[in-house]
Protein backbone atom coordinates (compact mmCIF):
# COMPACT_ATOMS: atom_id res chain seq x y z
CA UNK A 1 0.00 0.00 0.00
CA UNK A 2 1.48 3.39 -0.89
CA UNK A 3 2.34 5.78 1.94
CA UNK A 4 0.27 8.88 2.54
CA UNK A 5 1.91 12.13 3.46
CA UNK A 6 1.07 15.36 5.19
CA UNK A 7 2.50 18.26 3.27
CA UNK A 8 3.21 21.30 5.44
CA UNK A 9 3.58 24.72 3.87
CA UNK A 10 4.53 27.96 5.57
CA UNK A 11 5.98 31.23 4.39
CA UNK A 12 9.71 31.16 5.20
CA UNK A 13 10.58 34.59 6.57
CA UNK A 14 14.22 35.35 5.74
CA UNK A 15 15.23 35.72 9.40
CA UNK A 16 13.75 32.33 10.23
CA UNK A 17 14.44 30.20 7.18
CA UNK A 18 17.51 28.41 8.40
CA UNK A 19 16.13 28.00 11.93
CA UNK A 20 12.97 26.43 10.49
CA UNK A 21 15.00 23.96 8.44
CA UNK A 22 17.16 23.20 11.43
CA UNK A 23 14.18 22.68 13.75
CA UNK A 24 12.55 20.27 11.31
CA UNK A 25 15.80 18.36 11.02
CA UNK A 26 16.05 18.17 14.82
CA UNK A 27 12.51 16.83 15.02
CA UNK A 28 13.42 14.02 12.64
CA UNK A 29 11.75 15.52 9.56
CA UNK A 30 14.36 15.31 6.80
CA UNK A 31 12.06 15.82 3.80
CA UNK A 32 12.05 19.57 3.61
CA UNK A 33 12.53 22.18 0.94
CA UNK A 34 12.41 25.89 0.37
CA UNK A 35 10.34 26.72 -2.69
CA UNK A 36 10.65 29.96 -4.63
CA UNK A 37 10.47 31.20 -8.17
CA UNK A 38 13.83 32.32 -9.54
CA UNK A 39 12.20 35.61 -10.60
CA UNK A 40 10.97 36.21 -7.01
CA UNK A 41 13.71 34.77 -4.80
CA UNK A 42 12.61 36.74 -1.73
CA UNK A 43 9.16 35.10 -1.58
CA UNK A 44 10.02 31.74 -0.12
CA UNK A 45 7.86 28.89 1.10
CA UNK A 46 8.94 26.20 3.50
CA UNK A 47 7.59 22.80 2.42
CA UNK A 48 7.89 19.60 4.44
CA UNK A 49 6.53 16.10 3.93
CA UNK A 50 5.58 13.99 6.96
CA UNK A 51 4.41 10.37 6.89
CA UNK A 52 0.70 10.54 7.80
CA UNK A 53 0.85 7.52 10.10
CA UNK A 54 3.56 9.10 12.28
CA UNK A 55 1.93 12.53 12.59
CA UNK A 56 -1.55 12.44 14.17
CA UNK A 57 -3.29 15.73 14.93
CA UNK A 58 -1.81 16.37 18.44
CA UNK A 59 1.71 15.79 17.11
CA UNK A 60 1.13 18.17 14.23
CA UNK A 61 -0.22 20.79 16.62
CA UNK A 62 2.93 20.51 18.75
CA UNK A 63 5.04 20.85 15.61
CA UNK A 64 3.23 24.07 14.64
CA UNK A 65 3.87 25.43 18.17
CA UNK A 66 7.56 24.52 17.91
CA UNK A 67 7.86 26.36 14.59
CA UNK A 68 5.96 29.37 15.94
CA UNK A 69 8.34 29.63 18.93
CA UNK A 70 11.21 30.35 16.52
CA UNK A 71 9.60 33.66 15.55
CA UNK A 72 9.43 34.97 19.14
CA UNK A 73 13.08 36.04 19.67
CA UNK A 74 12.79 38.16 16.51
CA UNK A 75 9.53 39.79 17.60
CA UNK A 76 7.88 38.36 14.46
CA UNK A 77 4.37 37.01 13.99
CA UNK A 78 4.58 33.31 13.07
CA UNK A 79 3.29 32.74 9.54
CA UNK A 80 0.22 30.47 9.26
CA UNK A 81 0.85 26.81 8.54
CA UNK A 82 -1.13 25.04 5.81
CA UNK A 83 -1.58 21.26 5.79
CA UNK A 84 -2.50 19.18 2.78
CA UNK A 85 -2.81 15.41 2.55
CA UNK A 86 -0.97 13.83 -0.35
CA UNK A 87 -1.52 10.23 -1.31
CA UNK A 88 0.44 9.71 -4.38
CA UNK A 89 3.03 12.42 -4.74
CA UNK A 90 6.52 11.07 -5.00
CA UNK A 91 7.90 13.22 -2.20
CA UNK A 92 11.50 12.55 -3.04
CA UNK A 93 11.05 13.98 -6.51
CA UNK A 94 9.05 16.97 -5.30
CA UNK A 95 11.58 17.58 -2.54
CA UNK A 96 14.48 17.69 -4.93
CA UNK A 97 12.52 19.74 -7.44
CA UNK A 98 12.50 22.70 -5.07
CA UNK A 99 16.23 23.28 -4.80
CA UNK A 100 17.91 25.62 -7.24
CA UNK A 101 21.54 26.47 -7.99
CA UNK A 102 22.32 29.42 -5.73
CA UNK A 103 25.03 31.95 -6.67
CA UNK A 104 26.73 33.67 -3.72
CA UNK A 105 29.09 36.61 -3.91
CA UNK A 106 31.10 37.18 -7.04
CA UNK A 107 32.07 33.64 -7.87
CA UNK A 108 30.69 30.96 -5.58
CA UNK A 109 27.77 28.71 -6.46
CA UNK A 110 25.93 26.41 -4.06
CA UNK A 111 24.74 23.50 -6.13
CA UNK A 112 22.47 20.72 -4.82
CA UNK A 113 24.47 17.52 -5.28
CA UNK A 114 22.07 15.97 -7.80
CA UNK A 115 21.93 18.94 -10.22
CA UNK A 116 24.09 19.52 -13.28
CA UNK A 117 26.18 22.69 -13.31
CA UNK A 118 24.16 25.23 -15.32
CA UNK A 119 26.27 26.59 -18.22
CA UNK A 120 25.64 30.22 -17.14
CA UNK A 121 27.49 29.47 -13.87
CA UNK A 122 30.29 27.41 -15.41
CA UNK A 123 32.96 29.91 -14.29
CA UNK A 124 31.93 29.80 -10.61
CA UNK A 125 33.53 27.81 -7.79
CA UNK A 126 30.98 25.12 -7.01
CA UNK A 127 30.07 24.03 -3.49
CA UNK A 128 28.18 20.78 -4.04
CA UNK A 129 25.86 20.13 -1.12
CA UNK A 130 23.16 17.82 0.06
CA UNK A 131 20.97 20.64 1.38
CA UNK A 132 18.87 20.10 4.45
CA UNK A 133 21.23 17.60 6.05
CA UNK A 134 22.57 20.18 8.55
CA UNK A 135 22.60 23.93 9.14
CA UNK A 136 24.45 25.64 6.34
CA UNK A 137 22.45 25.33 3.14
CA UNK A 138 23.64 28.78 2.22
CA UNK A 139 20.27 30.45 2.53
CA UNK A 140 20.85 32.01 5.94
CA UNK A 141 22.32 35.54 5.91
CA UNK A 142 25.07 34.57 8.38
CA UNK A 143 26.29 31.75 6.14
CA UNK A 144 26.25 34.08 3.14
CA UNK A 145 28.12 36.77 5.09
CA UNK A 146 30.85 34.23 5.89
CA UNK A 147 31.04 32.92 2.30
CA UNK A 148 31.34 36.45 0.93
CA UNK A 149 33.99 37.31 3.53
CA UNK A 150 36.03 34.21 2.61
CA UNK A 151 35.87 35.28 -1.04
CA UNK A 152 36.80 38.83 -0.09
CA UNK A 153 39.79 37.62 1.89
CA UNK A 154 40.97 35.47 -1.02
CA UNK A 155 40.60 38.42 -3.42
CA UNK A 156 42.58 40.67 -1.04
CA UNK A 157 45.39 38.11 -1.16
CA UNK A 158 45.63 38.63 -4.90
CA UNK A 159 43.33 35.88 -6.03
CA UNK A 160 41.77 37.33 -9.14
CA UNK A 161 42.58 34.55 -11.54
CA UNK A 162 40.53 31.62 -12.76
CA UNK A 163 42.50 29.15 -10.61
CA UNK A 164 41.74 30.30 -7.08
CA UNK A 165 44.79 30.47 -4.86
CA UNK A 166 44.14 33.40 -2.54
CA UNK A 167 44.19 31.18 0.53
CA UNK A 168 46.93 28.91 -0.87
CA UNK A 169 48.62 26.87 1.81
CA UNK A 170 46.32 28.11 4.58
CA UNK A 171 45.27 25.98 7.50
CA UNK A 172 41.64 26.65 8.34
CA UNK A 173 39.63 25.97 11.48
CA UNK A 174 35.85 25.66 11.02
CA UNK A 175 34.24 25.91 14.45
CA UNK A 176 30.56 24.92 14.36
CA UNK A 177 30.85 23.53 10.85
CA UNK A 178 27.17 22.54 10.30
CA UNK A 179 27.07 21.24 6.73
CA UNK A 180 30.78 22.05 6.27
CA UNK A 181 29.92 24.76 3.75
CA UNK A 182 32.44 27.35 5.02
CA UNK A 183 35.38 24.97 5.16
CA UNK A 184 34.57 23.71 1.67
CA UNK A 185 34.45 27.30 0.40
CA UNK A 186 37.90 27.92 1.93
CA UNK A 187 39.27 24.80 0.20
CA UNK A 188 37.82 26.02 -3.10
CA UNK A 189 39.80 29.22 -2.58
CA UNK A 190 43.02 27.28 -2.28
CA UNK A 191 43.27 26.50 1.45
CA UNK A 192 45.50 23.51 2.18
CA UNK A 193 43.52 21.87 4.97
CA UNK A 194 40.41 22.35 7.07
CA UNK A 195 39.87 21.15 10.62
CA UNK A 196 36.13 21.17 11.33
CA UNK A 197 34.21 20.53 14.55
CA UNK A 198 30.61 20.64 15.62
CA UNK A 199 28.90 19.58 18.82
CA UNK A 200 26.21 17.91 16.71
CA UNK A 201 27.14 14.45 15.36
CA UNK A 202 24.71 14.87 12.43
CA UNK A 203 26.59 18.00 11.37
CA UNK A 204 29.91 16.14 11.53
CA UNK A 205 28.48 13.43 9.30
CA UNK A 206 27.04 15.98 6.86
CA UNK A 207 30.39 17.82 6.72
CA UNK A 208 32.25 14.63 5.91
CA UNK A 209 29.70 13.68 3.25
CA UNK A 210 29.69 17.12 1.65
CA UNK A 211 33.51 17.25 1.65
CA UNK A 212 33.57 13.88 -0.11
CA UNK A 213 31.05 15.08 -2.73
CA UNK A 214 33.57 17.81 -3.63
CA UNK A 215 36.55 15.41 -3.52
CA UNK A 216 38.00 17.11 -0.41
CA UNK A 217 37.87 14.11 1.93
CA UNK A 218 41.69 14.08 2.27
CA UNK A 219 41.92 17.79 3.05
CA UNK A 220 39.08 18.17 5.54
CA UNK A 221 39.04 16.44 8.92
CA UNK A 222 35.84 16.66 10.94
CA UNK A 223 35.24 15.64 14.52
CA UNK A 224 32.44 15.97 17.05
CA UNK A 225 33.20 18.53 19.75
CA UNK A 226 34.02 22.16 20.18
CA UNK A 227 37.07 24.41 20.19
CA UNK A 228 39.17 22.02 22.30
CA UNK A 229 38.75 19.30 19.65
CA UNK A 230 40.19 21.62 16.99
CA UNK A 231 43.65 21.60 18.57
CA UNK A 232 44.46 17.94 17.85
CA UNK A 233 42.95 18.24 14.35
CA UNK A 234 45.22 21.19 13.50
CA UNK A 235 48.25 18.98 13.01
CA UNK A 236 50.34 21.75 11.38
CA UNK A 237 49.78 24.15 14.30
CA UNK A 238 47.31 27.01 14.84
CA UNK A 239 45.20 28.02 11.85
CA UNK A 240 45.64 30.96 9.49
CA UNK A 241 41.88 31.38 9.31
CA UNK A 242 39.20 30.71 11.91
CA UNK A 243 35.59 30.46 10.73
CA UNK A 244 32.91 30.58 13.40
CA UNK A 245 29.25 31.18 12.69
CA UNK A 246 27.49 30.56 16.00
CA UNK A 247 25.31 32.80 18.14
CA UNK A 248 26.93 35.75 19.95
CA UNK A 249 26.75 34.30 23.50
CA UNK A 250 28.39 31.08 22.27
CA UNK A 251 31.16 33.04 20.50
CA UNK A 252 31.65 35.01 23.71
CA UNK A 253 32.02 31.81 25.72
CA UNK A 254 34.41 30.27 23.19
CA UNK A 255 36.64 33.27 22.45
CA UNK A 256 39.10 32.82 25.38
CA UNK A 257 40.22 29.67 23.53
CA UNK A 258 40.60 31.34 20.11
CA UNK A 259 44.33 31.95 20.65
CA UNK A 260 44.82 28.18 20.99
CA UNK A 261 43.51 27.58 17.46
CA UNK A 262 44.26 30.81 15.54
CA UNK A 263 47.86 31.81 14.81
CA UNK A 264 49.00 35.31 15.95
CA UNK A 265 49.11 36.45 12.31
CA UNK A 266 45.81 34.79 11.46
CA UNK A 267 42.34 36.15 10.68
CA UNK A 268 39.01 35.14 12.19
CA UNK A 269 35.61 35.56 10.53
CA UNK A 270 32.83 35.44 13.10
CA UNK A 271 29.13 35.59 12.35
CA UNK A 272 25.88 34.47 13.93
CA UNK A 273 25.70 37.74 15.86
CA UNK A 274 23.08 40.41 15.54
CA UNK A 275 24.49 43.84 14.65
CA UNK A 276 23.45 45.28 18.01
CA UNK A 277 25.48 42.55 19.76
CA UNK A 278 28.69 43.57 17.97
CA UNK A 279 29.93 46.28 20.40
CA UNK A 280 29.76 43.95 23.41
CA UNK A 281 31.48 41.14 21.51
CA UNK A 282 34.18 43.53 20.24
CA UNK A 283 34.86 44.51 23.86
CA UNK A 284 35.09 40.90 25.02
CA UNK A 285 37.40 40.05 22.10
CA UNK A 286 39.58 43.10 22.86
CA UNK A 287 39.97 41.75 26.39
CA UNK A 288 41.38 38.58 24.82
CA UNK A 289 43.84 40.59 22.71
CA UNK A 290 41.91 40.60 19.39
CA UNK A 291 41.11 43.57 17.20
CA UNK A 292 37.54 43.12 16.03
CA UNK A 293 35.78 45.06 13.32
CA UNK A 294 32.20 44.78 12.05
CA UNK A 295 33.19 44.08 8.45
CA UNK A 296 29.77 43.37 6.88
CA UNK A 297 26.10 43.05 7.66
CA UNK A 298 22.92 41.68 6.07
CA UNK A 299 19.58 42.69 7.53
CA UNK A 300 20.20 42.52 11.30
CA UNK A 301 23.03 39.97 11.09
CA UNK A 302 26.68 41.00 11.34
CA UNK A 303 30.12 39.62 10.57
CA UNK A 304 33.18 40.44 12.65
CA UNK A 305 36.68 40.15 11.30
CA UNK A 306 39.27 39.63 14.03
CA UNK A 307 43.08 39.68 14.10
CA UNK A 308 45.73 39.96 16.80
CA UNK A 309 46.13 43.39 18.34
Q: Which residues of this chain interact with ligand SAM, rule CB under 6 A?
A: 135-136, 143, 146, 175-178, 181-182, 197-200, 203, 226, 245-246, 250, 272
Q: Smallest gap, in angstroms, from Cβ of residue 244 to ligand SAM?
A: 8
- Alpha carbons 256 and 235: distance in angstroms, whole number: 21
Closest CA to 138 of 21, 27, 220, 60: 21
Q: Smallest gap, in angstroms, from Cβ of residue 55 to ligand SAM?
A: 25
Q: Smallest gap, in angstroms, from Cβ of residue 229 to ligand SAM?
A: 8
DSSP string across 183-211: HHHHHHTT-SEEEEEES-HHHHHHHHHHH
Q: In the complex with ligand SAM, which residue's Cβ is closer, 11 or 200?
A: 200
Q: Smallest gap, in angstroms, from Cβ of residue 135 to ligand SAM?
A: 4
What one-character DSSP code corresponds to residue 24?
Answer: H
Q: Smallest gap, in angstroms, from Cβ of residue 37 to ligand SAM?
A: 24
Q: In the complex with ligand SAM, which residue's Cβ is closer, 226 or 298?
A: 226
Beta bridge partners of 45: 11, 35
- Alpha carbons 20 and 16: distance in angstroms, whole number: 6
Half-sphere exposure of 268 (CA within 13 A, CB side): 31
Q: In the complex with ligand SAM, which residue's Cβ is closer, 22 or 49?
A: 22
Q: Who's near 211: CB < 8 A, 6+ residues apart? A: 180, 183, 184, 187, 194, 217, 219, 220, 222
What is the CB neighbour count within 10 angstroms for residue 97? 12
Q: Smallest gap, in angstroms, from Cβ of residue 5 to ligand SAM?
A: 28
Q: In the complex with ligand SAM, which residue's Cβ is closer, 50 or 248?
A: 248
Q: In the complex with ligand SAM, which residue's Cβ is closer, 198 or 282?
A: 198
Q: In the complex with ligand SAM, which residue's Cβ is closer, 50 or 177?
A: 177
Amino acid sequence: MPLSWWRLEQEALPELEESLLWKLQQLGIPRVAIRYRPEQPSQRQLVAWLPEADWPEPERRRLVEALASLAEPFGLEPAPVRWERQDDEDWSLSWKEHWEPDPVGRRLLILPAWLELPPEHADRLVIRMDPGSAFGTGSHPTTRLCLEAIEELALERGDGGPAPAGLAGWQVADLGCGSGILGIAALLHGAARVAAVDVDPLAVRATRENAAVSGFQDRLAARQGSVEELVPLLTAGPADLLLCNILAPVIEALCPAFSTVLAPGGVGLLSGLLVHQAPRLEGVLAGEGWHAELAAQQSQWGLLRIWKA
